[in-house]
């Protein structure tokens, strides 16, 4: 996740870090170069490179905007759902820290059972990160790697421990119910993350919009050459900047657990869970808070 203040108007056009232009500039340059060639060719050999009427291009451009907007919406929803699921993991971890307070003799006397449970939850967070990040970029090699759920099995001994504490009367039924509910929320969030991780947007959507966007931007100079002359490269590149940018950004948000700049900092989330739970156990020798490096938090 990029963490930086919004630039002012002056620096706005020169910010690179966090801009999607770092990924799309070769294609932008290609559109620009093509525009120059098309305009020059149209000037010198109009019978070979005739001007195309731009009316159908306008129609395709508007249709493309509507469809790209739909895809961006879907990808953004995935990203935000992923964030919500990690919010649920953070919340459940805190809930468990609070729900196990009753196991302690007092504020300064953390019981071994509470320590055992909270340590397992910390491990769950880190295991979830490993499980979700491990799959990044290797999706095509087959989904299976993502299907195994090591993080989930960490919760089995916790469930057994809660069952035992409940039978021993250390947890009254209501408390055991709440704790089991929180474990269920952790599983739910993890299953949700796996869903996002191993179910990309239907491939045909990506392909269809990607192809149409590129075809459109490479046809645009032909439509503009006659009408705009040497302004064509600028106009074509501005259109391409928007369309390629939204396309690339949608692609980045589609898989929210990766290591790209606009992905979610799930390592930091797991670290924060660790700090919070260790602190709840009265530890003072805590790991440092995660800090963005070069504006990027991972």
Positions 9 through 48 that interact with a copy of itself (CB under 8 A) = 9, 12-13, 15, 18-20, 27
Closest C-alpha to 114, from 95, 125, 124, 101: 101
Q: How far apart are CA 251 and CA 8, in angstroms?
A: 27
126: contact with a copy of itself by CB under 8 A: no
Q: Which of residues 257-276 bind a copy of itself (CB under 8 A)?
A: 261-262, 264-265, 268, 272, 275-276
Q: Which of residues 138-167 bind a copy of itself (CB under 8 A)?
A: 139-140, 142-144, 147-149, 152-153, 155-157, 159-160, 163, 166-167
Q: How far is the CB of 133 from a copy of itself (least distance, A)?
A: 17
CB atoms within 10 A of CB 24: 20
Calculate the dihedral angle through the C-alpha atoms of 192, 196, 201, 203, rounding to the nearest 10 degrees.
Answer: -120
> Torsions phi, psi of 61, nearest 5?
-65, -40
197: contact with a copy of itself by CB under 8 A: no
Q: How far is the CB of 272 from a copy of itself (least distance, A)?
A: 5
3: contact with a copy of itself by CB under 8 A: yes
User: Based on the number of CB atoms within 10 Å of its own CB, is 35 exposed (0-12), middle (13-18) or buried (19 or more)?
Assistant: buried
**Per-residue x/- mask for a copy of itself, residues 93 to 112, rule CB under 8 A?**
-xx-xxx-xx-x--x-----
Q: Which of 37, 133, 136, 245 binds a copy of itself (CB under 8 A)?
A: 245
251: contact with a copy of itself by CB under 8 A: yes
Q: Are 1 and 290 in contact (CB under 8 A)?
A: no
Q: Which residues pair with 293 in a beta bridge?
A: 296
123: contact with a copy of itself by CB under 8 A: no
């Amino acid at each position: 996740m990029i963490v930086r203040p919004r630039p002012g108007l002056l620096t706005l056009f020169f910010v690179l870090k966090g801009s999607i232009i770092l990924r799309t500039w070769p294609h932008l340059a290609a559109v620009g170069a093509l525009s120059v060639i098309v305009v020059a060719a149209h000037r010198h050999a109009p019978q070979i490179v005739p001007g195309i009427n731009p009316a159908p291009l306008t129609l395709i451009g508007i249709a493309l905007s509507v469809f790209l907007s739909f895809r961006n919406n879907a990808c953004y929803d995935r990203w935000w759902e992923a964030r919500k699921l990690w919010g649920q993991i953070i919340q459940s971890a805190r809930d468990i820290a609070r729900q196990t307070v009753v196991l302690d003799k007092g504020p300064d006397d953390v019981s071994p059972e509470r320590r055992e449970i909270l340590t397992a939850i910390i491990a769950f967070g880190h295991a979830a990160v490993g499980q979700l990040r491990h799959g990044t970029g290797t999706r095509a090699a087959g989904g299976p790697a993502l299907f195994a759920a090591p993080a989930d099995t960490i919760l089995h001994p916790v469930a057994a421990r809660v069952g035992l504490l409940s039978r021993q009367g250390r947890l009254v039924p209501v408390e055991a119910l709440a704790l089991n509910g929180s474990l269920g929320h952790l599983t739910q969030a993890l299953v949700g993350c796996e869903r996002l991780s191993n179910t990309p947007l239907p491939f045909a959507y990506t392909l269809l919009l990607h192809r149409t966007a590129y075809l459109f931007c490479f046809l645009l100079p032909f439509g503009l050459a006659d009408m705009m002359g040497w302004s064509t490269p600028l106009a074509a590149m501005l259109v391409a900047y928007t369309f390629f940018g939204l396309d690339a950004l949608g692609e980045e948000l589609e898989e929210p657990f990766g290591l790209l700049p606009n992905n979610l900092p799930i390592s930091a989330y797991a670290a924060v869970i660790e700090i919070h739970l260790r602190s709840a156990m009265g530890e003072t020798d805590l790991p440092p808070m995660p800090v963005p490096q070069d504006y990027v938090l991972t």
